[in-house]
Amino acid sequence: MGQLDGKVAIITGAAQGMGEAHTRRFVAEGAKVVMADLNEGDGERIAKELGDAAVFVKSDVTSVGDWRTLVETAESQFGNVTVLVNNAGIIGPIAETVELDEEDFHTVCLVNQYSQFYGMKAVIPSMQRAGGGSIINVSSVAGLVSIVGAPNLAYVGSKFASRGMTKHVATQYGKDNIRCNSVHPGYIKTPMMAAATDEEGGGITSQIPLGRMADPDEVAQLMVWLASDSSSYVSGTEQVIDAGLTAQ
């Protein structure tokens, strides 16, 4: 018996890192998953490996049209969408504010923030038809505090925005039994983190009370809980998974 039996999920950024870990966990727990990513090679490979429970759709999360296709695919293949994991995100350049290019600012906000709005707008009607659902927006510890070493202002700003949009949606759609929560990962071992740091955490781990970075699968287990009916009274919250980084 899976914790997500009968759930239909859309997971963005599903071809690598945390999105891949969430996809694998969700399928293992009985969910049907529509995987969204720009990375077609890895996305198709993972979907094939997972069999009938997963379908990959090459998608740009900043495209409203692609969101329409994602929801149509989910509904035609599996039924109404009951879980949305807005996981896709980028870091952008490592730049001080006075050096941050306006175009780069716009791109980071489009991918990290606007995409979550587009996703929620596209998916909520499907959840209403289903009688409810769980939306999980991936923010960051950088959506709680401006962490030392944050790459740029756009990253911090977009992650704060994700947290705010989450609360707004939670208050509006609670009446439809739609829950909405934000997740705030600390340092997780992902390809994105590897690209942003030059080591296996060396200098970073000394700042983390637990003394280590996390495996993406540790975040995936939190996602399973938020997606499942076990968290039925949890909405509008910030789920911090950072080994105490921001508790200090």
Q: Considering all CA atoms of the chain, what is the largest pairwise distance in Å, rounded to the nearest integer?
A: 54
- Which tokens in the block code for residue 152? 């740029």
Q: Which is nearer to another protein, 21 or 34 (CB)?
A: 21
C-beta of 155: minimal distance to another protein in Å?
Answer: 21
Q: Which residues 202-241 are close enough to bind another protein by CB under 8 A?
A: 208-211, 214, 218-219, 221-222, 225, 230-241
Q: Which is nearer to another protein, 36 or 180 (CB)?
A: 180
* Distance in angstroms (rounded) separating the CA atoms of residues 165 and 234: 16
Q: Which residues 112-171 are close enough to bind another protein by CB under 8 A?
A: 167, 170-171
C-beta of 176: minimal distance to another protein in Å?
Answer: 10
- Which tokens in the block code for residue 148? 């030392």
Amino acid at site 175: K
Q: Which is nearer to another protein, 16 or 177 (CB)?
A: 177
* Distance in angstroms (rounded) separating the CA atoms of residues 187 and 18: 11
* Distance in angstroms (rounded) separating the CA atoms of residues 187 and 201: 8
C-beta of 74: minimal distance to another protein in Å?
Answer: 25
Contacts with another protein: how many residues (CB under 8 A)? 37
C-beta of 131: minimal distance to another protein in Å?
Answer: 14
Q: Which is nearer to another protein, 39 or 207 (CB)?
A: 207
Active-site position among 114, 118, 155, 173: 155
Catalytic residue status for 155: yes
Q: Which residues 164-183 are close enough to bind another protein by CB under 8 A?
A: 167, 170-172, 174-175, 177, 179
Based on the number of CB atoms within 10 Å of its own CB, is 246 exposed (0-12), middle (13-18) or buried (19 or more)? middle
Q: Which is nearer to another protein, 77 or 171 (CB)?
A: 171
Binding residues for another protein, rule: CB under 8 A, are 167, 170-172, 174-175, 177, 179, 186, 208-211, 214, 218-219, 221-222, 225, 230-244, 246-248
Q: Which residues are catalytic?
A: 155
